[in-house]
Amino acid sequence: MQLRKRRVKDYGKHAYRLFLGALFRRKTDRCGKLLRVGGGVTVSKAKRAKLRIGNYVILYRNAGLYLDSDNAVLEIGDHTFLNRRSEVMCKQHVKIGSHCAISWDVTITDTDYHALEGAETTKPVVIGDHVWIGCRATILKGVTIGPGAVVAAGAVVSKDVPAGTLVAGVPAKPIREGVRWTL
Cβ contacts of 59-66, under 8 Å, gap ≥ 24: 59/21, 59/24, 59/35, 60/84, 60/86, 60/104, 61/85, 62/38, 63/38, 63/87, 64/88, 65/41, 65/90, 66/42, 66/90
Helices (H), 40-169: none
Considering the candidates 14, 99, 114, 130, report the single residue annotated as catalytic.
Answer: 114
Q: What whole-number distance in Å separates Cα of residue 11 and Cα of residue 36?
A: 13
Q: Is 130 a catalytic residue?
A: no
Nearest to 58 by CA among 72, 88, 78, 74: 78
Q: Are 38 and 24 in contact (CB under 8 A)?
A: no
Question: Catalytic residue positions?
Answer: 114
